[in-house]
Structure 1
Amino acid sequence: MIEPTTWLSEKEASEVLRVDEQSLELLRERGYLKPGSHWKSSNDPKQLPWKPKVFYCISGCKEAIEYWQQCDACFDQKAA
């Protein structure tokens, strides 16, 4: 079992969270996932400054993703 505070690579996080990698990236780019609490960049000097690997905190991301999924469901119900 994976500890909820575990930081995982984008691929591993997408599998655990059941969200594709592109969605994780989109949530990050739009500011729904915050740096430091939801994700962090690798500090490997070979990867900087272009496209460093990203690691996700599973517990923080799960919370944020569930929140935004609920918001979308509420919006869909109000629109109907």
Structure 2
Amino acid sequence: MAICDDSKRIWALVTGWPGAVNDQRVFDMSPIAILPRALEKGLMSPGQYILADGGYRVMRHVIVPYDRAPGQTLPREKET
């Protein structure tokens, strides 16, 4: 798992997990999740978030895409 900023600088990297492990499990066991106050101590500024894929759950500093049922479209207010 790698977390980078908008300038493509990596500021968090977690390795050593097999590819079959769920993304959220890797995140949950990472220093970012174990020490969430680290995000508030300079790694991220207020109003900054981690943009993640659908393999993660929404958390205080993590935003994931809207979920939709298979074969369904997103409501118009959620499209962008």
Instruction: Kindly indicate which of the two structures has a greater share of residues assigned to helix.
Output: 1
Question: Where on the TM-score scale, by shorter chain, does this alignment land: which range?
Answer: under 0.3
TM-score normalised to structure 2 length: 0.24
Q: Which has the higher contact order (CA 8 A, sep 6+)?
A: 1
TM-score normalised to structure 1 length: 0.24
